[in-house]
Amino acid sequence: MTQKPNPDPGPLAAARRIVDQAQNFAVLSGAGISAESGLATFRDSDGLWEQHRVEDVATPEAFERDPRLVWRFYNARRKAAHSTRPNAGHIALARLEELGKSVHILTQNVDGLHQRAGSAKVTELHGSAWRVRCTGCGAKSTDHPIELHVLPYCDKCSALLRPDIVWFGEALDPADLAAAARALEACQVFLVVGTSAQVQPAASLAFQAVELGKSVIEINKAPTLLSASATISLIGLAGDMLPRLVSGFGH
Ligand code: OAD
């Protein structure tokens, strides 16, 4: 009987080898990583943008027009995020760090689940559902009930408070973009997890990683705009794939 020479180890085994050998990671995450925690994504068939129009709840104009509607939307996001917990995908990324790797997470998510899973270095590119900002004095605060009073006002200057989220038509914080650029430059492996890679400038980080010759490993339940250019594209659920990618190292 002849044995097959060099059987194809499959994309997961190849990705594991890359991850095992690298020390420095940047991770671009999107709503898909929190899907298995029960939080809705945006563009899937059951996603938030199927039930709400972006123009009604996620633009500065929407907030000017109907702040109550916007606050109700974000109160619902806060309530949902509060009542769930990080899943195996978030936990696997935190574990990668525990194993001595440098891991910088660049998340488009505003739910705080990476931090709750124990990841230490998290840049929230689109802001945080847990932080609010005064439209008058600009003060930022986090000490609020899970669902804020509709409408909430600033203790200091009495102006209306808004969610500290980067809405469509608004610029990302330059400090966050600079942190993302540094993470991209420093990493050997750029993981892209649970994002449709459609929203700029976050998505462009993944394409820049490809151009810079980084090992780009994508995990998504379906192919995306990035899949064809990624070094390895793993089709599967983040909560299943990430633990399989990370488990077993450091022993
Ligand atoms: P999207 O809803 O656009 O994409 C979610 C992606 O996750 C899709 O590609 C799904 O195939 C994938 N997915 C879903 N469940 C998954 C699972 N369990 N495991 C792996 N992949 C899964 O969400 P984002 O790409 O995060 O911005 O969207 C980017 C930005 O657009 C958001 O931050 C938000 C939105 O409008 C603002 O609200 C400012």
Residues with Cβ < 8 Å from 139, sequence gap 6 or more? 133, 154, 156, 157
pLDDT digits (tens, 9 = 90+) for 6-43: 555 699 999 999 999 999 999 999 999 999 999 999 99
Atom of ligand 1 nearest to the CA of 195: 25
Query: What number is the average pLDDT over the span 97-107?
Result: 97
Q: Residue 108: CB within 6 Å of ligand 1?
A: yes
The model carries a pTM of 0.95
Separation between Cα atoms, residue 132 and residue 203, nearest integer Å: 25
Residue ranges of E strands in the chain: 24-29, 102-107, 122-124, 127-134, 140-141, 161-165, 189-193, 215-220, 232-235
Distance from the alpha carbon of residue 1 to the mean position of ligand 1, in angstroms: 48
Q: So what's the pLDDT on residue 251?
A: 39
Give the residue whose CA is nearest to atom 9 of ligand 1: 196
pLDDT digits 0-9 by tens, 234-249: 999 999 999 999 976 5
Mean pLDDT in residue range 121-142: 98
Q: Exactly one of 126, 144, 149, 251 is catalytic; which is it?
A: 126
AA letter at 105: I
Q: Hey, whose CA ends up nearest to atom 22 of ligand 1? A: 32
CB-ligand 1 contact for 206 (6 Å cutoff): no
Task: Please give the pLDDT value at position 209.
Answer: 98
